[in-house]
Amino acid sequence: MRVVDVNRILGPVPAADVPSRDVPGLVDELDRLAIDAACVVHSLSLHYDPVMPVGVPSHPRLFGVPVVVPGPLGTPAPSDARLVRMCPAEHRFTMTGPQGLGLARELAERNITVLLGWESTSPGGIHHLASEVPSLRIVLINTGYRALRELAELMDAHREVRVDTSGLCGHLQVEWTANRYGAHRVLFGTGAPETDDAGPRFQLDHLELPETDVELIAGGNVLELLG
């Protein structure tokens, strides 16, 4: 079973000195928890300036995830991107405005998947976006256990909406989601170091699901998205 974290941060983070501030420290953290690879967004692009050219250093176990922003003051998706992150609240743009929808349509046409933080927008905004661009694959990350009803409503309505496990920490919550929507719509993710990584990794080893479903959640789904 390959374990691939779809939701990881590289670089310094506010108010904490974390091992993953550089590549060697991050790789050591992956080794500690038996995680084979990670999709990594740089903290400077996430929290500071997405326009500033900060890339993820080349490493065979790390897949760089660029932060994209719509409009003339934003950042387009690189030509080789398969997975990007959008942060409307942090970077002050509207996902469902003309520029946001334009970028979403472009990403869908290019077969690029979007990581979208739960607290970076609203359930209504996600519903609007997924309704306007139904072919856009969206992975909702850091949902939190209190969001299950809102998450379920979105996943019921939009088949291309997926979720990572970083916030599915309630009792049998991953199992419920996988059984209702299919394991292909659930991806292992931690959100580390801003959220806990040991909990989701421990949970992965103890899921009450068929082995084939666990393999999809652990890494198969994200590897398919990455091509």
Count of C-beta atoms within a 10 Å radius of residue 149: 8
Distance CA 14, CA 29 (A): 19
The pLDDT value given to residue 49: 82
pLDDT tens-digit profile of 167-210?
998 899 999 999 999 999 999 999 999 999 999 999 999 999 99
Question: Which of 114, 72, 77 has the alpha carbon at shortest distance from 95?
Answer: 114
Place of tokens 């996943």: 155
Which has more pLDDT, 169 or 30? 30
What span, in angstroms and rounded, lies between the C-alpha atoms of 71 and 214?
39
User: CA separation (Å) from 156 to 34, 38, 53, 181?
Assistant: 33, 28, 38, 8
What single letter denotes the amino acid at residue 147? A
**Cα 71 to the chain's mean position, in Å?**
22
Q: Considering the entire predicted model, what is its pTM?
A: 0.95
What does the pLDDT read at residue 142?
95
The angle that helices 148-157 and 173-181 make with each other, rounded to 10 degrees, is 10
Q: Give residue 54's pLDDT band: very low, low, confident or very high (50, 70, 90).
A: low
Please give the pLDDT value at position 157: 98
What percentage of the chain reaches a pLDDT higher than 70? Answer: 99
pLDDT, position 140: 98
What's the pLDDT score for residue 190?
Answer: 97
Give 99-150 pLDDT, tens digit per residue. 999 999 999 999 999 999 999 999 999 999 999 999 999 999 999 888 999 9
Mean pLDDT over 154-163 rounds to 98
Handedness of CA 71, 93, 87, 176 (dihedral sign): negative
Q: Which amino acid is at 215?
A: E
Can you tell me the distance from the alpha carbon of 89 to that of 77, in angstroms, rounded to the nearest whole number? 19
